[in-house]
Every structure is written in C-alpha cells, then in structure tokens.
Amino acid sequence: RMADQNGEVLDAMLALLDDPALRVRWQATFSLGELSSPQALEGLRKFLPAAAADATLRTAWLSSVHRHAATLSLDLLATAEG
C-alpha cells in the first residue's frame, strides 16, 4: 500500500479518477477503496457524482467504499442535519 505512505503516489491515483478512459477510472476507484488514507476517501467522495452517472462506475464505487461505510454514513447524516 505504497499510496498510503507516499503522497505523490496517492495524488497520481486520485488524478486517474479524471482519466478519459472508463476502465482507468474503474480501476482507480477499486484501488482507492483499498487505502486507509483520508485523502483516498475524500477522492472517492468527490467522485460519487461521476460514479452515480454510470452503472459500471457506480458498481465499482459501491464495492470500493465498503471499508468506509461508517464514515460515509455519518457524513451523510451530518449533511442531512446541517
């Protein structure tokens, strides 16, 4: 998990979420979901609108965020209450 320890690698992975190739964005979503970094979670959170618009990316996103479900749920509730 080099990206958890190396900011440059993590930044490169986050940039892949904007790649024009669907397969690259798909793999980046899965890869970021394996990390424990708060920055990776934030990247996945920001990628949600794009992922929601495409069935393949939506599946990848939902599969990738299972490790962060509690945090995302609390964020969602805080947003709803805010």
In tens, the pLDDT along 29-44 reads 999 999 988 899 999 9
User: HSE (CB half, 13 Å, CA atoms) of 61?
Assistant: 22
pTM of the model: 0.81
**pLDDT band for position 26 (50/70/90)?**
very high
Residue 5 or 47, more confident: 47
Q: Is 70 exposed, middle or buried (0-12, 13-18, 19+ CB in 10 A)?
A: exposed
In tens, the pLDDT along 53-64 reads 999 999 999 999
